[in-house]
Structure 1
Amino acid sequence: MTVSSQPPSPGQQAGRHFRRRYFVALSLIAALAIAGQVLVQLTLNRQSGDSHVVNMAGYQRMLSQRLTLKILLFDPTQADASAQLDAIEAMRDRWVGTHRKLVIGLPDIAYGATAHSTLAALLDEAGHPLGRIAALAADLSPQSTLSAANRTALLADQELFLPLMDSVVLGLEKSASARVAFLQRVEMALLLITLVVLALEALLIFQPAVRRLQTSIDQLEHRNRQAAGSLASLRHLTGGIAHHFNNLLTGIMGHAELERLDALRDGRSTEYADAQLECGKRAAAIVTQLTRYSGEARYRCEPVTLGPWLRSFIPAGAPDNPDVRITLDIADDATVAIDRSALEPAVHGLLANAIEAMNGSAGLIQVRLTQAVLLEPRTMSGPYRAELPPGLYACLCISDNGEGIAASEFDRIFDPFYSQRGLGRGLGLASVLGIVHGHGGGICVESAPNRGSEVSVYLPLSGRTAGKLPPAAAKKSPSNGAARE
């Protein structure tokens, strides 16, 4: 058995292309950030080494001054001469050891070959007076005293050693300054490269993606307009066909009635004529549904106060499910011009949908009737996405706490014969939508899975012209486009 894979759509190909480019751009920016972080860390490590060397150089300077002072003050005739020699020896060893650490650790803290050679030469040059001072300190003994010539040489070597250590510190400061300047140049280069990458990302990735997205939106809107136009044409066609079928049914049922009367007059059985009339009535009911679905049915509208009318036929519970309660919150001041024979089945259909949403379990259905003020056009649900003009409306809201409608199914709820619970049984919300449109109103559906549904039916109030809003009502209403009183 061969399995044929469907080629990706242009939208999927564009999405993959966009993800690849975006991944490359993010990877480049991440690499630049990591490189900058590594460079900063290395620089900080070298700066820490420099600070350690500067401290050691200062320590060397201090040791040389204290050692020179102790040598000059050494007096073999004093009782603590041996203690003085021990202190001089210990200080000399620390001084020589510190200098050795500086020389050995220099390659780890120097920056660049030039700086390394310069500092090495300075430390090498400082080692000569250091060695002579250390040798002079080693020659001291309780039986000898420091001659005038040795004192002069000691002071000369001290004067030579101190400037050399100052030069080492100055060299390290220059090396540190060079590193900081280099780091600043690198950071500026990384910043410029990042800005260039972001600019290229905007030009080569986001701008084409936005163009493709806008093209897709335009194409989708065009298809929606085409679909709405096709649906409108289909509804007109349905209404025309229903009208012609209704004319044919009128003739058929008229002849069947005449045949029934002749059979009664002649004393014959009317069984066949009655069956023909019954089939004609069922066909006429289907034709009525079709005309209502098309929105071109002719209604006999009269002003009706909706409150008492709704209470007259809405039950307190579901006949097939006693665990479902229906509560009413109905205002009595809403008068609407309606055809009661057409709108009552629509309300029953909405209640039946709410009861079925409970899926046999306990639940609550709330029926509310209020007055709504639309200060701006409001888009309704349904395939037309029609907009109700501003004005005063009666809003009949039927909500349940049932299973709700999945997002993938939301656009299909107005399709004829559609049902979430198996095979559809009729025109359903499609017929309700046609009836409400025929009365100049609209339907707004809000739902979420496992959170119930709410269907709001807007009907223009009788005696009010949609779009002519009374000043008093406008002052009471907020500016969000819809308000309920």
Structure 2
Amino acid sequence: MYAQAKQYMADQNEKRLVSVGRAIAAQIDLARLTSFLPGDEFTSEYEIEQGRLSRMRDEADLDNIALFVPYQGSLLDTRRGIGIGDFHPLNDIDRPELRPLWEGAPVGLPLYEVDGEAFQSAFVPMIDGSELAAVLALDASANFLSDLDRLKTALYAAALLSLLLALGLGYLVHRNTKSILALHTEIKNQEKLAALGTLTAGLAHEIRNPLGIIRASAELLHEEEKTTPHVMEFGREIMEEVDRLSELLTNFLQFAKPARADENAGDLGGLVEEILDRVQKNFDDQHVALVRDVTKESLRLRMDSIQIAQVVLNLVLNAKDAVNGEGRVSISVRRTSRPRDGALQPSGEKSDGPFAEVSVRDNGCGMTKSTREKLFDPFYSTKSKGTGLGLSIVHGIVQGHEGYLFIDSEEGRGTEIGFGLPLAEK
């Protein structure tokens, strides 16, 4: 496209030069100019003619006007200072491209360069009778090329800017669309949770009463002296299933209608140590090593101690189940200045620290990518008797404390999962 524009403008400039040349030729007194002899260049009459052509040159925005007689020499040149009768460099009209001059037709030449600058020339024949008496030559700088180059640069810049704007707009639309869809999904989830909470709260009382009666009856059956071992086993299984149903009902209630956090200042490290002391025997009985790395630094923050204890207990017991006996679970508590890369946060953007961070690492079987992506989804569980609500509740509690969650796991490499909570301002 640039080459086409360049050729078009060169053609138009060539036509302009030919038209200007014809107009100037019509104003030249050829008989007077041909009457000058070598040495007349310094006469006032010659200087008047040269000055008149120089003004025409400037008015027409030309670089030079020259007049010469074929095969004889120069008559006048407004730039080069060539004397009358001297050889003129343009006086080579036997060139094929200049042959139309002999037939009385003007000629425009293509662009050419001199010292890196582009020019164009036009030749207009001056006929005396039927003879070619002289040739008027015009030179002009092709300054339109620099304008065209600037236009090309501007167009490239505009195209690049348009592309960047389009990409930026596309990104904003994509990001905002994702935000809108996420908000829509969140609203729908909240509506579902509200409905689930209302339903669960209404049924909780009705379900728990018969569950209590069933468990009490099973307990009596299990403790009856005359009961056979087979019946006693039935009683024990009934009590276990009732306890599991009660726990499931509690999880439903907590997930659907989470309690408002009752925040007070507390030390996260001390709370974690208390939880680990409570589960130590359970780990020992199953031959699972429980390794502690809790900082001695006081990590005070505003938290609901009961809810955060539930989070820690859930993560620690999940890690124990993942190693499936004779494994190792490591718990660390430390101060950190920023969330880990890829951490899940309420705002979706990194928050300013500092944070108190709890990490639970196991050397179990690890997780697949699919499992990691659905880990915090409600009702998703990899356990045969799991409700799929434990980690969803964990997510809700940490989010309610304006904290973040993180997970790093691969199949065969174990899992590290944890959370961070903002430290209280001093």
Q: Which structure has the higher relative contact order (CA within 8 Å, separation 6+)?
A: 1
TM-score by length of 1: 0.44
**Structure holding more helix per residue:** 1
TM-score by length of 2: 0.49
**Structure holding more strand per residue:** 2
